[in-house]
Structure 1
Amino acid sequence: MKNLKKTALCGILLGSALLAGCSSHYVMATKDGRMIMTDGKPKIDKDTGLVEYTDEAGNLIQINGDEISGIIER
């Protein structure tokens, strides 16, 4: 019974790791020449004009949309 639990747990962990690896990455170019790598698609808030994204370290960051010159999927 313990082997079945270990096998099931390993399967769940492996599946989670594979799904996490499937998220899309984007590159945002700023008007001052910086290239910002994101983990997942950036979200644009039309009310505030802010672009919200998660950086590669997992931090949630917001930047003014006026500073962005382009967003492309990597």
Structure 2
Amino acid sequence: MNRTLLLPLAALISVAALTGCTRTSYAIQTNDARTIISDGKPKEAPTGLLEFTDANGVKQQINKSDVKQVTELPK
């Protein structure tokens, strides 16, 4: 492969890989003053629960009535 194409191709692949790794975190404040950090946006389940993946990568659920607010954390 031509060396003049190899460097830009490697840079493009690196940027594409890093772009896919960025995720937005959210803070979930509960009525009992706890704050839970989620990895990605929480989703409301049909059962009335809020489903999310916590900062440790574990899938969690919390009753939506126990949630005071959900806010996006700045990057």
TM range (shorter): 0.7 to 0.9
Runs of 4+ off more than 4 Å: 10-14
Q: Which residue of 2 aligns with 1:59?
A: 58
Normalised to the residue count of structure 2, the TM-score between the two structures is 0.73
Residue ranges of structure 2 left out of the alignment (5+ in a row): none
Q: Which amino acid aligns with 1:26?
A: Y
1:18 is matched with: 19
Aligned residues: 68
User: Percent of aligned positions with the same letter in both sequences?
Assistant: 37
Please provide the CA RMSD for this pair: 1.9
With normalisation by structure 1, the TM-score equals 0.74
Larger radius of gyration: 2
What is aligned with 1:43?
Answer: 43
The 1-side partners of 2:58 and 2:15 are apart by 24
